[in-house]
A and B are shown apart, each in its own frame.
Chain A
């Protein structure tokens, strides 16, 4: 059995799965249920000046019959009194001392407020802070949340205030609502943050009701931009995570990966691209806390199969496998192959290629079943047919190198090698 225990900036947890700062972590009853279910830690829902929330608060994007492919919320930070939150945090730590208790903070935009909040939370015995520089709605209009994270200078200043006072680890959570997360990431690392977490939610409109013409979520006939999360945002999160993991300033601190993590596989992908642990919210909101069981078991089994004993054995292992386009090997070439024994003759590969790609699939008419074969000389190896094929391993991409030598685009140009002639 592999060891899946995690140590993030000295904050220990029995597994690398934390619940992200969000509705599931906003009070004792939820957090205790999460710990009982087996979650390694929580980031307590953001504390700050008490706010008032609206009804409704969530909306979702469904796809192909699957519900909540993407999720959107317009909730603000905790709307409960600070002293109740603090008291409950103490109780949770006491009942589950082996779990990570990190508290998300978003104080009013001045040093005194931050210092005062830090002092009060440290008194609970919490293990760390996460600075909420990412909330994209409601708080930004008040100069907080993403309004801080979107401006590296402001973010740096706030982190400096925090570092003056904090005596426990500080994680800064980054907003994705920027063209690049790196500038703010660099600024806060330079200001002394101990760690980074990303991504927060992405500003979104999930849809419009075609009867009322009001976008959702519906609040008394109107809506607002919300924060988008869930499986749909994972690819964006992975990209942003990679840029932080590759930057020589930001990769000096550990990263907590967030954004659409729903399964152990998602978690492993985040960790391979540089996250030391992951935070989960939407998947738990959709299915309940019980999903952590398979996350732990799946991770463990995968590590055993791959021969990884600890998380550190594989964290970051894929970071260097993402390179600049110019460094890609132009002589690498593969072409599709359709396994006729597995083919069910649905024609999806054919129509995708014929209509939108390179007309590289041959159709031999049959009643009722057509036969589809690859025109190898036409196939550019784009993967589209394989991606749309509903049968596992029916279409495989087979390596047909142009030549054995590695040649990238820069070298290709230098040598004056030919471009396509049609």
Chain B
């Protein structure tokens, strides 16, 4: 079977890509859960949120009917609080730390409650923040992803005039282009970006890519400071024979296609293999299945113990019918007529823990072959090394090095995935806040 698009009828796509975590149907439903919250002091949920959202406070505000206040509490810490409520792996963050877990009770559905307040704010276009009068400082931000938008919003509130340069046609970064469609819809991503920008003072220029249409030197000349939030984006290569055959794609571009084109236009194989077990691998595998692939096999060279995705995510893949093969590393892609026909993998075993405490996989020499017509590579992403080197930014294997937000170049700041190598959206939002703080300090504000 070839790789084709249009595998399913329209209704089936809608069903397969409908909201995986639906919102509360009614106010009362939200209240039942909000009232369960114990209102912990120095709350574990808050401490487990990279942006430190005051979770007990925003939930308490739902119970008092102060939804505007609740949304303000969330957005004060995390301007992408609406999106994060849909995409955060809360099972390892706030909800994972909820004290109810220690009572063997269901955790408070923090994300769902956060969605309740933030969506109401967005739907009603509540303007919860005032922008201070312009202070005459201009900042260029490269990248309109979570880090860039968060930095821009924080700066704009303080009266800084911000210009964002974004290489894509839409803002939101990986939120818009890199996350499973059953978590956030393109419409939502657009609304969220618009809501963030509605504070004013942020000019956003699309289809402007650093190193192509714009240069760091020029930005430095035209602005008082530059914030780089360019993310990561290059898919890590497997470096195995047959990797260039037709039908081998990287997960980032596969997901990008899903997010950018209609579901029916995305090409997907009949028998798909996905390499990796991170969040992106899960998003790729589940969506391949939901686009109509009859068999999806996920291969990971270690075990469930070491997998980067959460168990909740793994379960989505399992429920979608994806096959999971642990301790298997891709060795060679076979093809005919230039097209993928099979994947040869090698069985692995776990060796001694490495410096990071993770046990490394060791080849066993045994191999096995599965028939496939599409291979999706989700073995991680690498930074834009060349671009960073070219701009003479001090870096560690392509990850920009920062010191309190400052890069090695005076007046140039950086944060988010391009610094940390790729973490959650919520980490990027915090990085944006930190970057803005560093810039404001730089301005001596």
Contacts and interface: CB of A to CB of B under 8 A. Distances in A.
Interface of B: 31-32, 34-35, 38-45, 47-48, 63, 97, 99-100, 102-103
Given A64-B35, A65-B32, A369 B44 contact: yes
Contacts of A65: 31-32, 34-35, 63
A368 B44 CA distance: 5
A391 B103 contact: yes
B35 A344 contact: no
Nearest to B42: A347
B328 to A, nearest CB: 35
Contacts of B31: 65
Given A65-B63, A344-B103, A370 B42 contact: yes
Contacts, number: 44
Nearest to B49: A368
A368 B209 CA distance: 40
B38 A348 contact: yes
Contacts of B44: 345, 368-369
Interface size range of chain A in the complex: 10 to 19
A370 B46 CA distance: 13
Contacts of B47: 367-368
A348 B35 contact: no
Contacts of A368: 44-45, 47-48, 97
Interface of A: 64-65, 344-348, 350-351, 363, 365, 367-370, 390-391
Contacts of A348: 38-41
A370 to B, nearest CB: 6
Interface of A is mostly: loop
A353 to B, nearest CB: 10
A387 to B, nearest CB: 14
Contacts of B32: 65
A87 B102 CA distance: 61
A365 B41 CA distance: 12
Nearest to A63: B35
Q: Is the interface of B mostly helix, strand, loop or mixed?
A: helix
Residue in A65, A351, A363, A365 with the greatest tally of chain B CB atoms within 10 Å: A65
6 contacts: A64-B63, A344-B102, A346-B43, A365-B42, A370-B42, A390-B38
A143 B145 CA distance: 74
Contacts of B38: 346, 348, 390
Contacts of B102: 344-345
Closest 6 A-B residue pairs measured CB to CB?
A347-B41, A65-B35, A368-B44, A351-B41, A344-B99, A344-B102
Contacts of A345: 40, 44, 99, 102
Contact of B99 (A64, A346, A363, A365): A346
A219 B244 CA distance: 79
Contacts of B100: 344
A355 to B, nearest CB: 9
A391 to B, nearest CB: 7
Given A64-B35, A344-B103, A346-B41, 13 more contacts: A64-B63, A65-B63, A344-B102, A345-B44, A345-B99, A346-B38, A346-B43, A346-B99, A347-B41, A348-B41, A368-B97, A370-B42, A390-B103
B346 to A, nearest CB: 40
A346 B63 contact: no
Contacts of B40: 345-348
Nearest to A389: B38
Contacts of A350: 41
Pick from A347, A348, A350, A363 the residue with the most CB of B within 10 Å.
A347
A350 B41 CA distance: 8
A351 B102 CA distance: 20
Contacts of B35: 64-65
B287 to A, nearest CB: 32
Contacts of A64: 35, 63
A391 B47 CA distance: 22
A346 B38 CA distance: 7
Nearest to A369: B44
A345 B101 CA distance: 11
A151 B63 CA distance: 43
Nearest to B100: A344
A347 B38 CA distance: 10
A29 B361 CA distance: 78
B158 to A, nearest CB: 30
Max chain B C-beta neighbours (<10 A), residue from A363, A365, A370:
A370
A390 B39 CA distance: 11
Contacts of A351: 41
A391 B40 CA distance: 13
Contacts of A391: 103
A350 B48 CA distance: 20
A349 B44 CA distance: 15
A211 to B, nearest CB: 11
Contacts of A365: 42
A203 to B, nearest CB: 27
Contacts of B48: 368
B103 A347 contact: no
A347 B100 CA distance: 13
A347 B63 contact: no
A348 B40 CA distance: 6
A84 to B, nearest CB: 40
Contacts of B41: 346-348, 350-351
A285 B298 CA distance: 59
Contacts of B97: 368-369
Nearest to A210: B65
A263 to B, nearest CB: 21
Contacts of A363: 42
Nearest to A355: B41
Contacts of A346: 38, 40-41, 43, 99
Contacts of A347: 40-43
A345 to B, nearest CB: 6
- By CB atoms of chain A within 10 A, which of B39, B41, B43, B99 has the most? B41
A390 B40 CA distance: 10
A186 to B, nearest CB: 45
A361 to B, nearest CB: 10
A64 B103 CA distance: 20
Nearest to B32: A65
A342 to B, nearest CB: 9
A348 B97 CA distance: 16
B218 to A, nearest CB: 43
A344 B45 CA distance: 13
A317 to B, nearest CB: 35
B26 to A, nearest CB: 14
Nearest to A349: B41
A272 to B, nearest CB: 32
A351 B38 CA distance: 13
Max count, chain B CB within 10 A of own CB: residue among A64, A346, A348, A367: A346
A390 B98 CA distance: 14
A391 B100 CA distance: 10
Contacts of B45: 368
A369 B41 CA distance: 11
Contacts of A369: 44, 97
A351 B47 CA distance: 17
Contacts of B34: 65
B108 to A, nearest CB: 12
A229 to B, nearest CB: 23
Nearest to B93: A368
Which of A344, A363, A390 has the largest number of chain B CB atoms within 10 A? Answer: A344
A126 to B, nearest CB: 44
B65 to A, nearest CB: 9
Contacts of A370: 42
A176 B63 CA distance: 33
Nearest to A343: B102
